A and B are shown apart, each in its own frame.
Chain A
């Protein structure tokens, strides 16, 4: 019964995707209706979750090798499902006026379904299947509807992340086989699997961590990200940065930490160092960019570093803050990519030097971009701060040097975000500026951003409900 309740959450967008594929000119309406319905249904699930019905889902009969169709939901899963559904709906609204074919709308629904599956899966095999099926709609979204270099970017994205997935698969298979040879029971259930000790455990941990690290992405495995984010259509970038990157961190939290409680804690120096590098490296790379979308893409690398700092610290503050930062980054960077998308729709350029003085020409675009930039640089009172601060606090309690690095990253964030804001929205347009083409946001676009801005402000000032949702499922991971 409750298993069925969770199935609806991913099956609804999947069926919606099929309908949209067949829907012809109604497909965008189908996409809108289905994504909103999935969002509403996701919110409704909060009730059963509170009463504890959903979390303890019963087992379906096993297929071969102990593979089961088993779903599972707690605060972390549900909040990420909300994020997925919300950003999908936002993407549909944002690309409403585009004359894309039915496949475009269907691809977003399929993507939503696969992502929901990743966040809901309890069976490791099922998790991997959903994990991989995310790649397919994303590949088409980048490759078919992206900008000039889309085919190269799509191929790079696919191969790079597939490379990581292979390690994830090898790790999972080795894990399950070892457990079978030790206990004689085939199981892929994440709650029953236990990572082996010793050398084998280390190898499996490394393989699976590599798979997740590509997705996060952890430097130096990040180079698929700038290309994919830049060449994808605006809505594609939103889903990439907003949700796909979260899969990696979710994998660490959901799979690696519970499987290897001791080993993952012993890995703190390495993982913490990598997280710190992510923050600083992403910030410096972002400072060097001349392309607005690439800049935001690199800022994502830095922001994911904050999430990692939080979850690696293994303190309640850090775990909750890092998870909250997943949602915050999805909202903030999603909004930034949507804004850049609208800018690109008008001026057909992305360079920092291609615009200038938009503040007078498009005041609402300027207002929302400025607002979101402030959220992105971690201005307290907006949502980015809450997650960053709690993550850094967790790290300060575990390994204070890395917290210092993280705080330096907060400082550097202003050094790449504000110059970009100034170059586009203030100042004198250059000789070949396309500022003259830019007109202000219309009612649909404004409405979308009001929702985003309200969320940023609400989570920034009153994160209590989300913290309460996330806290119980993460406290068990604290060291």
Chain B
């Protein structure tokens, strides 16, 4: 065990101190300045993360136990910090992107009555994710995992006066809880099996065949599917758009949904030891990626398109994990964080400028002239998402496509389909929003560019979306520095011209087709929606999956009603209450006998005597 670097402590202390200062000093005193300590803490955390990254890059990791959290008998759970390549490479992205988004939200949420509450919740969210990334055991990981979920609940439902926001928050939390069922059970089984929960455990344990391992692996996959919005638990994420835009940006890019993929990567030694499980993860990822990309193509709300796009990309990351390319998965996780944050904040700029919380692509058009900076940032991020050279997304996507190519067969086909589909939906969004305007759209007259406090973070993020991929070699080197994983993950393959050409060609083809479909006259994008309302409704309902989910919820509520009301209250409790009535009836009968009348008493006496005699006679 190496000693604890002070920078690692800063990751916790700075946000905690900032939250305390914000809650106890700023909020009662000057609520509109709540962001000051928070932003300072963001800066400190980002610097600390950079320092830790440098430390890991030079080969010095750390794994330190701070104190024993829970214990009984021979068993104990530590509370500690683990600084290693996997954690720190994601940590750097989360710290930087999260800090920029918080800076952005200061501008976005200015003047909102809940400003100080919002900014504090956002920071707690940030802290939880950072804690998750540097946890050194599964129980502590679970702590931050749940905390992330709870923060997202309050942030999605932040505008609690909106019914849709309340519903979305509830749906998100309950779905996440359903997924946490898997994680908690997996953690329990890990302890039962190995008597330890430390991440380093998996490097020491020889995996012997046991019925528990596939079960633990499946439960971890289930948990990751919930948090990272993979099929079949993805549906909460698009609805979570009801929160303010910075929340969406933070959730989609940095703090929330990446946790599931991170869990898969952390548990890779165990998962790879279970035969068939990586293949299952790849299939789940591919299905999610293609399914969500198709849905993203048919959505009209700006934020919903991006939400389905996130689902699709998370599927892609899971696909990479399933193919054994955890390096590529982490790499794509990092680049995705930058370009998705940019896209969301651009959508936020548009929403902020138009004064609405939800903007549809069929409403606005021709924005590039009104909001040139937003357009430039959006275009870079869109190119990055579509995987076009030299943007960051190209490198990470290419690595995944390479892996798919090597696997061949269905994986290669799925990889190409994902590449084409993601280019298609993001270019559709780009064309519809920024080009035109089409005659169907209302001309955007009053829209204006975002103020500097919002524009600067967007510019920085766009820069990241452009350039992060160039540091590919360094990132890969870092992943394997420090305390690396025992099961060596394959390093990234060299850029294969054939694969790159196939991916780029498909993306360009998709962009061209989409241009014709959206900008041509008459525009197909409006046309099919009007001609086939049934089909449009089917796509809006996620091809029937939402109805299945609603049916499940309704059934659970019905069970609760039957158990809680019909059985417990109206049947069982009523029966118990009846015993009192029965006793009273008995006592009334008894007291009727003791009426005090002489003749009646004599009658009873005679009956009693006769009964006694009869009994004696029978004996």
Of B55-63, B140-148, B233-241, B594-602, the one contacting chain A is B140-148
- Contact pick for B563, options A288, A315, A359, CB 8 Å: A288
Pairwise interchain contact B73-A223, C-beta atoms closer than 8 A: no
Contact with A along B364-391 (1 / 0, CB 8 A): 0000000000000000000000000000
Closest Cβ neighbor of A220 among chain B residues: B572
- Contact pick for B564, options A156, A288, A414, CB 8 Å: A288
- Contact pick for B565, options A156, A223, A288, A370, CB 8 Å: A288
Residues in B whose Cβ lies below 8 Å from that of A462: 67, 69
Pairwise interchain contact A284-B188, C-beta atoms closer than 8 A: no
- Contact pick for A464, options B68, B75, B139, B572, CB 8 Å: B68
In Å, the complex CA distance between A410 and B154 comes to: 19
Residues in A whose Cβ lies below 8 Å from that of B577: 156
B30 sits at the interface (CB 8 A): no
Contact status of A410 and B184, CB under 8 A, knowing A316-B72, A471-B72: yes
Pairwise interchain contact B564-A411, C-beta atoms closer than 8 A: no
Residues in B whose Cβ lies below 8 Å from that of A189: none
In Å, the complex CA distance between A379 and B561 comes to: 26
B174 sits at the interface (CB 8 A): yes
The range of chain B's interface size is 35 or more
Residues in B whose Cβ lies below 8 Å from that of A411: 177-178, 180-181
In Å, the complex CA distance between A359 and B565 comes to: 29
- Contact pick for B70, options A159, A418, A467, CB 8 Å: A467
B192 sits at the interface (CB 8 A): yes
A407 sits at the interface (CB 8 A): yes
Pairwise interchain contact B564-A287, C-beta atoms closer than 8 A: yes
Q: How far is the CB of B170 from chain A (nearest CB, A)?
A: 6
Pairwise interchain contact A396-B188, C-beta atoms closer than 8 A: yes
Q: How far is the CB of A306 from chain B (nearest CB, A)?
A: 13
Residues in A whose Cβ lies below 8 Å from that of B181: 407-408, 410-411
Contact with B along A456-471 (1 / 0, CB 8 A): 0000011110010001
Closest Cβ neighbor of A475 among chain B residues: B73
Residues in A whose Cβ lies below 8 Å from that of B70: 386, 389-390, 463, 467
Closest Cβ neighbor of A223 among chain B residues: B573
Contact with A along B141-178 (1 / 0, CB 8 A): 01100110010011001001101001001100110011
In Å, the complex CA distance between A173 and B242 comes to: 64
Pairwise interchain contact A400-B192, C-beta atoms closer than 8 A: yes
Pairwise interchain contact A284-B563, C-beta atoms closer than 8 A: yes
B559 sits at the interface (CB 8 A): yes
Give the residues from 50 to 104 in chain B that come closer than 8 angstroms, CB to CB, to chain A: 67-75, 79
Pairwise interchain contact B572-A223, C-beta atoms closer than 8 A: yes
Residues in B whose Cβ lies below 8 Å from that of A478: 73
Q: Which of A298, A315, A407 counts the most B-chain CB atoms under 10 A from its CB?
A: A407
Pairwise interchain contact B170-A418, C-beta atoms closer than 8 A: yes
B40 sits at the interface (CB 8 A): no
In Å, the complex CA distance between A404 and B560 comes to: 19
Pairwise interchain contact A321-B72, C-beta atoms closer than 8 A: yes
In Å, the complex CA distance between A71 and B93 comes to: 61
In Å, the complex CA distance between A414 and B556 comes to: 13
Contact status of A381 and B560, CB under 8 A, knowing A464-B67, A467-B70: no
Contact status of A419 and B142, CB under 8 A, knowing A284-B564, A463-B70: no
B557 sits at the interface (CB 8 A): yes
Closest Cβ neighbor of A422 among chain B residues: B166
B568 sits at the interface (CB 8 A): yes
- Contact pick for B147, options A281, A359, A381, A426, CB 8 Å: A381
A113 sits at the interface (CB 8 A): no
B189 sits at the interface (CB 8 A): yes
In Å, the complex CA distance between A427 and B74 comes to: 48
Contact status of A428 and B161, CB under 8 A, knowing A284-B560, A403-B185: yes
Pairwise interchain contact A396-B192, C-beta atoms closer than 8 A: yes
In Å, the complex CA distance between A425 and B154 comes to: 12
Pairwise interchain contact A407-B188, C-beta atoms closer than 8 A: yes
Residues in B whose Cβ lies below 8 Å from that of A404: 185
A392 sits at the interface (CB 8 A): yes
Contact with A along B27-42 (1 / 0, CB 8 A): 0000000000000000
Pairwise interchain contact B189-A380, C-beta atoms closer than 8 A: no
A18 sits at the interface (CB 8 A): no
B47 sits at the interface (CB 8 A): no
Contact with B along A361-384 (1 / 0, CB 8 A): 000000000100010000111000
Main SS class of interface, B: helix
In Å, the complex CA distance between A426 and B79 comes to: 35
In Å, the complex CA distance between A380 and B67 comes to: 16
Give the residues from 439 to 479 in chain A that come closer than 8 angstroms, CB to CB, to chain B: 461-464, 467, 471, 475, 478
Q: Which of A317, A392, A419 counts the most B-chain CB atoms under 10 A from its CB?
A: A317
Residues in A whose Cβ lies below 8 Å from that of B147: 379-381
In Å, the complex CA distance between A83 and B147 comes to: 27
Contact with B along A308-320 (1 / 0, CB 8 A): 0000000111011
Contact with B along A277-319 (1 / 0, CB 8 A): 0000100111111000000001000000000000000011101
Pairwise interchain contact A415-B563, C-beta atoms closer than 8 A: no
In Å, the complex CA distance between A288 and B560 comes to: 5
Q: How far is the CB of B226 from chain A (nearest CB, A)?
A: 11
In Å, the complex CA distance between A359 and B147 comes to: 21
Pairwise interchain contact B73-A315, C-beta atoms closer than 8 A: yes
Q: How far is the CB of A271 from chain B (nearest CB, A)?
A: 20
Pairwise interchain contact B188-A285, C-beta atoms closer than 8 A: no
- Contact pick for A415, options B71, B163, B556, CB 8 Å: B556
A357 sits at the interface (CB 8 A): yes
Residues in B whose Cβ lies below 8 Å from that of A475: 73
Give the residues from 563 to 618 in chain B that come closer than 8 angstroms, CB to CB, to chain A: 563-565, 568, 572-573, 576-577, 580
Q: Which of A386, A426, A461 counts the most B-chain CB atoms under 10 A from its CB?
A: A426
B447 sits at the interface (CB 8 A): no
Q: How far is the CB of A461 from chain B (nearest CB, A)?
A: 8
- Contact pick for B72, options A287, A390, A396, CB 8 Å: A390
Contact status of A392 and B188, CB under 8 A, knowing A288-B561, A298-B564, A316-B73: yes
A114 sits at the interface (CB 8 A): no
A393 sits at the interface (CB 8 A): yes
Q: How far is the CB of A64 from chain B (nearest CB, A)?
A: 34
Q: How far is the CB of B442 from chain A (nearest CB, A)?
A: 30
B8 sits at the interface (CB 8 A): no
Pairwise interchain contact B170-A389, C-beta atoms closer than 8 A: no
Residues in A whose Cβ lies below 8 Å from that of B161: 357, 426-428
In Å, the complex CA distance between A210 and B171 comes to: 40
Pairwise interchain contact B170-A419, C-beta atoms closer than 8 A: yes
Pairwise interchain contact A418-B573, C-beta atoms closer than 8 A: no
A25 sits at the interface (CB 8 A): no
A348 sits at the interface (CB 8 A): no
Residues in B whose Cβ lies below 8 Å from that of A316: 72-75
B191 sits at the interface (CB 8 A): yes
A262 sits at the interface (CB 8 A): no
Residues in B whose Cβ lies below 8 Å from that of A281: 563, 568
**New contact pairs (15) apart from A359-B160, A396-B189, CB-CB < 8 Å:** A223-B568, A223-B576, A285-B564, A288-B560, A317-B72, A320-B72, A357-B161, A379-B150, A389-B184, A400-B189, A419-B170, A461-B79, A471-B73, A475-B73, A478-B73
Interface residues, chain A, CB within 8 Å of chain B?
A: 156, 159-160, 220, 223, 226, 281, 284-289, 298, 315-317, 319-321, 357, 359, 370, 374, 379-381, 385-386, 389-390, 392-393, 396-397, 400, 403-404, 407-408, 410-411, 414-416, 418-419, 422, 425-428, 461-464, 467, 471, 475, 478
Q: 19 A-B pairs, CB-CB below 8 angstroms? A: A156-B580, A281-B563, A281-B568, A298-B564, A316-B72, A317-B73, A320-B73, A389-B70, A389-B139, A390-B70, A396-B188, A422-B166, A426-B166, A427-B160, A427-B161, A462-B69, A463-B69, A464-B69, A467-B71
Q: Which 9 A-B pairs have the closest CB atoms?
A: A288-B564, A316-B73, A287-B560, A426-B160, A380-B143, A285-B564, A320-B72, A284-B563, A223-B573
Interface residues, chain B, CB within 8 Å of chain A?
A: 67-75, 79, 139, 142-143, 146-147, 150, 153-154, 157, 160-161, 163, 166, 169-170, 173-174, 177-178, 180-181, 184-185, 188-189, 191-192, 556-557, 559-561, 563-565, 568, 572-573, 576-577, 580
